[in-house]
Amino acid sequence: MRHRLKDVAERAGVSVKTVSNVVNGYQHVRADTRARVEEAIAALNYRPNLSARNLRKGRTGVIALAVPELDIPYFAELARHVVTAAADHDWTVLIHQTGGGSEQERKAASGIGDHMIDGLILSPLALTSDDLAALHGLPVVLLGERVDNGPADHIMIDNVAAAREITAHLIGLGRRRIAAIGSQRTPEGASARLRLAGYTAALAGAGIAYDDRLVAPAPAWHRADGAAAMRHLLATGVRPDAVFCFNDTLALGALRALHEAGLRVPEDVAVAGFDDIEDGRFSIPTLTTVAPDKERIARLAVELLAGRLGPDRDSPPRELVTPHHLALRESAPL
Amino acid sequence: MRHRLKDVAERAGVSVKTVSNVVNGYQHVRADTRARVEEAIAALNYRPNLSARNLRKGRTGVIALAVPELDIPYFAELARHVVTAAADHDWTVLIHQTGGGSEQERKAASGIGDHMIDGLILSPLALTSDDLAALHGLPVVLLGERVDNGPADHIMIDNVAAAREITAHLIGLGRRRIAAIGSQRTPEGASARLRLAGYTAALAGAGIAYDDRLVAPAPAWHRADGAAAMRHLLATGVRPDAVFCFNDTLALGALRALHEAGLRVPEDVAVAGFDDIEDGRFSIPTLTTVAPDKERIARLAVELLAGRLGPDRDSPPRELVTPHHLALRESAPL
DNA sequence: ACGGAGAGTTACAACGTTGCAGAAATACAC
DNA sequence: GTGTATTTCTGCAACGTTGTAACTCTCCGT
């Protein structure tokens, strides 16, 4: 049922290698030979065995993208862009879901990496440089926060600046009791720490005192966590007049909780998020947010990986900061 | 840097095959030999070369999941469940994005399938049975609408019944001018046709005349399409008092358009969707919808595939209808 | 006619792994 | 103590492909 080079060769009356040459587009094949071979390929519906080709070549044509959770819209959108960018290099993308645990991420790094993939684009939450070292030379591009001393290429946005800017925007609206939702103390919470730093920097810049009670932690960054954190803030009676949520799903949850509490957005409480996911453009109200250039991040990641697999094999690790902008919508308008 | 069985064998002072036996958990290996080999494996950080193993075994341990678009929440949620279910079989899931075009789906089927994957879970929009035949024996499980005469296992929900039930629910609220959003005339629109059939059946059952002007097409089923369709309905002056959207993202777009038009949901217009995506539980208002059991669909798909790779290799194709229920929320409450 | 260049084709080995058959060592039965 | 299982380990071949090197054949210039 499934045919091999040998079958094609027999049918076309040539050697196995000649068929291989035709399949790989080698130049010096006589036109009539090529035609005979192609006829045989078509007749037998021959497809190369990629495992064998990979074994021989040491390349698989597959790269992996490992993200914490696929059904967080930010990662789903990112995944779409990575798949698109990878297609330009004729790569297939193996999308892997780590669950954000260090165990799973380690497995994504070492386990999957084994020999099935040529490179890895990893959006780590919990990974340490030790885990990374265990890759033993598999080219890796990291997205998001820095892994300390990691010897890998790295793409990020300036989280502190972005958080500072959007907090400053809320201050510019005249708000003074600005809450933050999404803080995390765990080692995984690198993004949370940076965004919190931007938040406090903006407050300090405007001469507003930092109030611990206005900062709500969130174990994960899902809608439910955002809603719970918002409810908690409202219940403690610290009446914020604005909220900066560390990502958009938190913000959507917060919108929901505010709605249930009968508060108007943005009149009573302005809300800002982070990530610019599709939902935020259709939510009620639409969501003001920090918009990273996801398409560019994905493209850069694929290109860095391509470099590592090609000429830049041994060049020093690169660190790229991609631009972002504020998307000002109804929840905290201009 | 990257070691092979041979390197481990030399270090442990045994044959290559013995190392292979240890790696594969073969029983009859003396304890001290096993220990020596394991020490060597650890010391060299040996990892099997999967390409070689696959070549030898004819199995790859990778299954593919092909969906039209990853950033449609329904598919992202489904993907998460499939990844989880596949992990129980020690399978890695290669997630593939087809874009919904028949060309891409064909490629997902034939191109990717070549020898890299053991099986395919495909959520087709445009695939015909011819495309399916081109797979030449690759086990496939189809999700969603029927591919005519396809010789593959198939999991679906009863779209007609589900659409009829939720439309009947709207009728039960006393609504009489019930619009539908999402109809499609293209060959890809199988789901749309079935849901439309359920909608018309419910109207007929209640003695309500079908009004063509209340049925709005949507080229795709994104939020933007839902919003555009809703705006169109409102602009034509046919004042619906309820809308059944053929999926949740359409419904979220419709909610947005209704909000912009100053109409209250559900007081002025009740809204229902289809899919029960996470967003719908936090939107304002929360979304009444048809809830398929995505976790079960994913688990069944993986199990059917496991069967095809094992004992049920040649059993006749199975067709499974999974249950659904109505999730009644604020946009069209009980 | 002869040498040389290049086009066209081929045989062979290797990529790293595992199934098979069997050798060597050990245990067991009588 | 001999014969028979059983455990433990090994060498070889094969999975399907491609790189290397070599071979044949044609064509050209002299």
Q: Is a pLDDT exceeding 90 seen at residue B174?
A: yes
CB-based contact B114 A50, cutoff 8 Å: yes
Nucleic acid strand C within 7 Å of A194 CB: no
Angstrom distance, B149 CA to D9 C1': 53
Q: Is a pLDDT exceeding 70 seen at residue A155?
A: yes
Provide the sign of the torsion angle of the four alpha carbons A206, A208, A210, A214, taken in this order.
negative
- pLDDT value of position A139: 84
**Predicted TM-score (pTM) of this structure:** 0.84
Give how far the C-alpha of residue B323 lies from the chain's centroid of Cα atoms, to the nearest Å. Answer: 15
pLDDT in tens, A158-176: 999 999 999 999 999 999 9
Cβ atoms of residues A235 and A213 within 8 Å: no
Q: Is a pLDDT exceeding 70 seen at residue B15?
A: yes
Q: Is a pLDDT exceeding 90 seen at residue B190?
A: no
Q: Is a pLDDT exceeding 70 seen at residue A219?
A: yes
pLDDT in tens, B58-102: 777 788 888 888 878 999 999 989 988 888 887 878 888 776 555
CB-based contact B62 A97, cutoff 8 Å: no
Is the model more confident about A302 or about B91? A302
Phi, psi of B322 (to 5 degrees): -95, 150
Is the model more confident about A46 or about A101? A46
Percent of chain B topping pLDDT 70: 89
CB-based contact B73 A71, cutoff 8 Å: yes
H or E element, residue A306:
helix A294-309
Angstrom distance, A29 CA to D30 C1': 30
- pLDDT value of position B74: 93
List A residues 22-61 in contact with B (Cβ-Cβ < 8 A). Answer: 45, 47-52, 54-55, 60
Q: Is the peptide bond before A333 cis (omega within 30 degrees of 0)?
A: no
Q: How confident is the model at residue A298 (pLDDT cuts 50, 70, 90)?
A: very high
- pLDDT value of position B274: 97
Q: Is a pLDDT exceeding 70 seen at residue B42?
A: yes
Closest Cβ opposite residue A256 in set B62, B76, B282: B282
The CATH number corresponding to A5-48 among 3.30.1330.180, 1.20.140.10, 1.10.260.40, 1.20.1250.20 equals 1.10.260.40
CB-based contact B62 A93, cutoff 8 Å: no
Q: Please give, rounded to a whole number of angstroms, the shortest distance from the CA of A284 to a CA of chain B.
A: 6
The residue in chain B having the minimum alpha-carbon distance to the alpha carbon of residue A2 is B136
Q: Is A185 on the interface with B (CB under 8 A)?
A: no
Is the model more confident about B83 or about B167? B167
Percent of chain A topping pLDDT 70: 89
Least confident of A73-87, A103-117, A166-180, A314-328: A103-117
- The residue of B1, B284, B314 whose CB has the most chain A CBs within 10 angstroms, and thus the best one to mutate to test that interface, is B284
- pLDDT value of position B332: 96
Q: Please give, rounded to a whole number of angstroms, the shortest distance from the CA of B46 to a CA of chain A.
A: 10
Please tell me the CATH code under which domain B159-291 is placed: 3.40.50.2300
- pLDDT value of position A62: 81
Percent of chain B topping pLDDT 90: 53
- pLDDT value of position B284: 94
Mean model confidence pLDDT for chain B: 87
- pLDDT value of position A61: 79
CB-based contact A137 B95, cutoff 8 Å: no
Q: Which of residues 25-44 of A touch strand C (CB under 7 A)?
A: 26-30, 33-34
Q: Is a pLDDT exceeding 90 seen at residue B325?
A: yes
Identify, with chain letter, the residue nearest to nucleotide C6 (CA–C1'): A28
CB-based contact B94 A92, cutoff 8 Å: yes
pLDDT in tens, A49-58: 888 888 888 7
Q: How confident is the model at residue A117 (pLDDT cuts 50, 70, 90)?
A: confident
Q: Is a pLDDT exceeding 90 seen at residue A87?
A: no
Please tell me the CATH code under which domain A62-155+294-324 is placed: 3.40.50.2300
**What's the rounded Cα separation, in Å, for the pair B2 and B51?**
14
Q: Is the peptide bond before A292 cis (omega within 30 degrees of 0)?
A: no
pLDDT in tens, B243-291: 999 999 999 999 999 999 999 999 999 999 999 999 999 999 999 999 9
pLDDT in tens, A100-111: 555 555 555 555
- pLDDT value of position B51: 83
Identify, with chain letter, the residue nearest to nucleotide D18 (CA–C1'): A56
Check if B5-48 and B62-155+294-324 are the same fold.
no
Q: Where are the domains of chain B?
A: 5-48, 62-155+294-324, 159-291
Angstrom distance, B55 CA to C21 C1': 22
The torsion defined by the Cα of A46, A50, A54 and A55, in degrees rounded to 10, comes to -80
SS3 string, chain B, reads CCCCHHHHHHHHCCCHHHHHHHHCCCCCCCHHHHHHHHHHHHHHCCCCCHHHHHHHHCCCCEEEEEECCCCCHHHHHHHHHHHHHHHCCCCEEEEEECCCCHHHHHHHHHHHHHHHCCEEEECCCCCCHHHHHCCCCCCEEEECCCCCCCCCEEEEECHHHHHHHHHHHHHHCCCCCEEEEEECCCCCCHHHHHHHHHHHHHHHHCCCCCCHHHEEECCCCCHHHHHHHHHHHHHCCCCCCEEEECCHHHHHHHHHHHHHCCCCCCCCCEEEEECCCHHHHCCCCCCEEEEECHHHHHHHHHHHHHHHHCCCCCCCCCEEEECEEEECCCCCCC
**What's the rounded Cα separation, in Å, for the pair B227 and B84?**
34
Nucleotides on strand D lying under 7 Å from protein C-beta: 7-12, 14-20
Q: Please give, rounded to a whole number of angstroms, the shortest distance from the CA of A90 to a CA of chain B.
A: 11
- pLDDT value of position B229: 97
Stretch A9-35: mean pLDDT, rounded?
Answer: 89
- pLDDT value of position B182: 96
Q: How confident is the model at residue A203 (pLDDT cuts 50, 70, 90)?
A: very high
Contacts of residue B47 in chain A, CB cutoff 8 Å?
Answer: 110, 114-115
- pLDDT value of position A25: 86
* Burial zone of B2 (CB within 10 Å; 0-12 exposed, 13-18 middle, 19+ buried): middle
- pLDDT value of position A229: 97
